[in-house]
Amino acid sequence: MDHHATTPVDPRVVEAMLPYFTEHFGNAASRSHAFGRTARKAVDRARAQVATLVGAAPDDVVFTSGATEADNLALKGTAPRIRERTGASRLVIPRTEHKAVVDSARRLAREGFEVTWLDGETDGRIAPAALEAALDAGPPVALVSVMLCNNEVGAVNDVAALGALCRARGVLFHCAATQGLGYLPFEASWAALVSLSAHKLYGPKGAGALVVPKRGATRAPVVAELDGGGHERGMRAGTLAVPLLGGFGAAAAIQAAEGPAEGQRLAALRDDLGRRLGQAEAHHVFGPPAGPARHPGNLNLAFDAVRSEALMVALDDVVAVSSGAACSSASIEPSYVLRAMGVDRERAAGSLRFGLGRGTSASDVERVAAAVLSAVDALRKRSPEWRLRGEALDW
């Protein structure tokens, strides 16, 4: 139940990839022979499949090694060019964004950009009114970046409204759409730049994309971070990983076809898990309430007087869960997303993130919920904090 960190590769995706490791091993840039042309056809098919998932045109899709590279390219490959053209040198970034966006913004700040760090709502969403106020207060803005769906608390942003605010002011809008694609409504036209990753869609690790939709005859001014060969219309150099991209395309096609129904199934399982865990005394759910404002497979909560590290150790033989984003799992600090939402340090340190996925069943939910409740009870019995709490209530 840690599908927000990554997903298993769907067997249908593996089947689509296999021929391009051995039989069809050509370089997609080699157009002088059949091996290269076959590889090129596979890449073109994948590009069209990924484009369909996000409502874009195939030539809008720039393949990368993943969403982290796409996020870096979206910010560091555009903001300096915009500053050169217009003089705008301010970025607007929510504090709850993925580390790939947050750290890219910090790098740009060291290069002279001003960053307006946007506070989210207490449920993790970014209010259009808050973005509008940030856009209209201060120096001209070069770029805004807001994710479709928060990878820790499942908060779904109104990307259409946020993008419209930016377009009305001529500001470039980037959306990291890695989480929730296929489950949530999304159109690439809502943003000037969109980041994707295959491994959150039951595709392979090592494949992603930056979608750069045309607006009229123009696109966002992306300058390549990698040089060498002019691949991907000059926006990203390097020999294309044909097997991985073929898998990316297959995964996108499956998600486009099956995602809506799967989202409903996951939401029902997530709600059942929430009801079962809600039997525990003094628990707290983080993020929006269940419904369209929350990722259907996400549940993030904490139990008073229980540290997430101890709880995960107790559950290690039962279920894989996390206390936050995988990109920050080496940190011993409480989740920066929860802290930015106003959650106090102690409670944030007890957070547990469940990410349900394609392989999760109703029996899994029942078994995991029982194990969590048992572990919470056992840990609380050994907790001086919980004992003092009970004595205070008795008094």
Q: What is the pLDDT of residues 338-392, one digit of tens each?
A: 999 999 999 999 999 999 999 999 999 999 999 999 999 999 999 988 988 866 5
Residues 219 and 97 in one domain: yes
CB burial of 194-233 (b: ≥16 within 10 Å; e: otherwise) equals bbbbbbbbbbbbbbbbbbbbeeeeebbbbebebeeeebbe
Number of domains in the chain: 2
If you average pLDDT over residues 302-329, what whole number do you get?
A: 86
Could you tell me if residue 378 is inside a domain? yes
Could you tell me if residue 322 is inside a domain? yes
Residues 215 and 351 in one domain: no
79-93, 314-328, 339-353, 372-386: which range is least confident on average?
A: 314-328
36-45, 217-226, 241-250: which range is least confident on average?
A: 217-226
Residues 383 and 264 in one domain: yes
If you average pLDDT over residues 56-77, what whole number do you get?
A: 97
Check whether 191 has a pLDDT greater than 60: yes
Could you tell me if residue 276 is inside a domain? yes
Residues 244 and 274 in one domain: no
Residues 218 and 275 in one domain: no
Q: What are the Cα distances from residue 350, in Å, to 25, 119, 329, 382?
A: 48, 22, 14, 16
Range of the structural domain that residue 94 is part of = 11-254
Residues 248 and 263 in one domain: no
The partner residues of 185 in beta bridges, in order of sequence, read none
Residues 146 and 242 in one domain: yes
Q: What are the Cα distances from residue 132, in Å, to 63, 260, 282?
A: 32, 31, 37
Could you tell me if residue 2 is inside a domain? no
Check whether 393 has a pLDDT greater than 60: no
Q: What is the pLDDT of residues 150-190, one digit of tens each?
A: 999 999 999 999 999 999 999 999 999 999 999 999 999 99
218-227, 265-274, 338-347: which range is least confident on average?
A: 218-227
Domain final position from 204, 229, 254: 254
- Residue 367 is part of a domain; what is its CATH number? 3.90.1150.10
Domain final position from 254, 282, 297: 254
pLDDT of residue 323: 87
Q: Which of 149, 166, 175, 327 is catalytic?
A: 327
The partner residues of 294 in beta bridges, in order of sequence, read 155
pLDDT of residue 394: 54
Residues 72 and 189 in one domain: yes
Report how far residue 317's alpha carbon sits from residue 301's, in angstroms, rounded to the nearest whole number: 20
pLDDT of residue 395: 46
- Residue 97 is part of a domain; what is its CATH number? 3.40.640.10
Could you tell me if residue 384 is inside a domain? yes
Check whether 329 has a pLDDT greater than 70: no
Sole residue written with tokens 């593996």: 14
Residues 87 and 29 in one domain: yes
pLDDT of residue 73: 97
Residues 297 and 224 in one domain: no
Cβ proximity of 190 and 175 under 8 Å: yes
If you average pLDDT over residues 117-144, what whole number do you get?
A: 95
The more confidently predicted of residues 173 and 237 is 173
Report how far residue 345's alpha carbon sits from residue 49's, in angstroms, rounded to the nearest whole number: 43
If you average pLDDT over residues 53-70, what whole number do you get?
A: 97
If you average pLDDT over residues 85-92, what whole number do you get?
A: 97
Could you write out the three-class secondary structure of the chain?
Answer: CECCCCCCCCHHHHHHHHHHCCCCCCCCCCCCCHHHHHHHHHHHHHHHHHHHHHCCCHHHEEEECCHHHHHHHHHHCCHHHHHHHHCCCEEEEECCCCHHHHHHHHHHHHCCCEEEEECCCCCCCCCHHHHHHHHHCCCCEEEEECCCECCCCCEECCHHHHHHHHHHCCCEEEEECCCCECCECCCHHHCCEEEEEHHHCCCCCCCEEEECCCECCECCCCCCCCCCCCCHHHCCCCCCCHHHHHHHHHHHHHHHHHHHHHHHHHHHHHHHHHHHHCCCCCEEEECCCCCCCECCCEEEEEECCCCHHHHHHHCCCCCCCECCCHHHCCCCCCCHHHHHCCCCHHHHCCEEEEECCCCCCHHHHHHHHHHHHHHHHHHHHCCHHHHHHHHHHHC
Residue of 200, 182, 314, 194 whose CA lies nearest to 255: 182
Could you tell me if residue 69 is inside a domain? yes
Handedness of CA 323, 324, 329, 331 (dihedral sign): negative
Cβ proximity of 207 and 196 under 8 Å: no
pLDDT of residue 333: 75
Residues 181 and 280 in one domain: no
Residues 263 and 220 in one domain: no
Domain final position from 229, 254, 279: 254
Could you tell me if residue 4 is inside a domain? no
Residue of 325, 354, 355, 319 whose CA lies nearest to 339: 325
The verdict on whether 166 is a catalytic residue reads: no
If you average pLDDT over residues 22-43, what whole number do you get?
A: 94
Residue of 120, 123, 122 whose CA lies nearest to 290: 123
Work out the mean pLDDT of the chain and round it to a whole number. 94
If you average pLDDT over residues 290-319, what whole number do you get?
A: 95
pLDDT of residue 357: 97
Check whether 299 has a pLDDT greater than 80: yes
Cβ proximity of 48 and 289 under 8 Å: no
* pTM for this entry: 0.94
Check whether 234 has a pLDDT greater than 90: no
Q: Give residue 87's identity as a one-letter amino acid code.
A: G
